[in-house]
Amino acid sequence: MRAPARAHRRADRSAVLRRRVGRGVSGVQRFALDGQVAVVTGGGGGLGSAGARALAEAGADIALIARNRAKLEDAAGLVEETGRRALIVEADVSDAAGMVAAAEQVAAAFGRVDILFNNAGITNPQTVLDVDPREFLRVLEVNVAGAFHVIRAFAPSMIEHGYGRIINMGSILSGRGMANRAAYCASKAGLANLGAACAFEFGGDGITVNTLGATVIVTDLNRELVRTQPELYARIVQRTPLGRLGETEDVMGALLFLASPASGFITGQTLFVDGGYTAG
């Protein structure tokens, strides 16, 4: 009975979808998120907290998910400064049951989910021969399986009301290699293709799924690596047409676009935010 019910909901959604994808709306209103609810994983980190604030400034209430409560509270403060509501959920994305519980908590607080920013991620800068297999698998567990658990937990709410934007935080390394980054490269390739598969599965439900392919964005995750490996990052800058590494604010425009009604006919794609690094 589940499939026919889902098909019936799809048939009744045309008016909702026309309103939510921005038809009949012009200019900056296509990018407005007024009254929407966004979930941000890795919500206590640099990109997560910046993304949460940007989505809140566009009008969304925010549910922040991460393991570090102190950082979550700081991020919640940034959201509340905009006048929007913030919910803190202390949880680990690699815990499937924990993500189901998180989805229930968000539903109780906000009623639904419109936007999911799958931002939680870790790295392990070691060679294939040096890395402990358990540490290699931990990167995959967080960066790929974690995103899978989050999507499984929150997509049903989007399916129920026939609208959603899922944005995965990927990397330029999803399609190319780099020494000492085997686990990270493998995880980001998997994440991009998970997003593409979900785009096919959820397209009929009014849900788009895209990936942000970022260059090195200086955050808490990699700041120490940038400091201790200046030659590596100098080579990246040299290859980048815009001549610098990325900052968190460089990602926000692309995030808001993919989260907004303006991107309603874009799905299954990787949007590179890399200063031109992948152009050549």
As annotated, the active-site residues are: 184
d(CA 1, CA 172): 42
Q: Are 273 and 215 in contact (CB under 8 A)?
A: yes
d(CA 130, CA 69): 32
**Per-residue DSSP letter, 56:** H
d(CA 98, CA 153): 9
Q: Are 116 and 39 in contact (CB under 8 A)?
A: yes
**Per-residue DSSP letter, 54:** H
Reported as type and span, the H/E element at residue 190 is helix 182-202
Angle CA 2–167–198, to nearest 5:
35
Q: Are 272 and 213 in contact (CB under 8 A)?
A: yes
**Per-residue DSSP letter, 174:** G
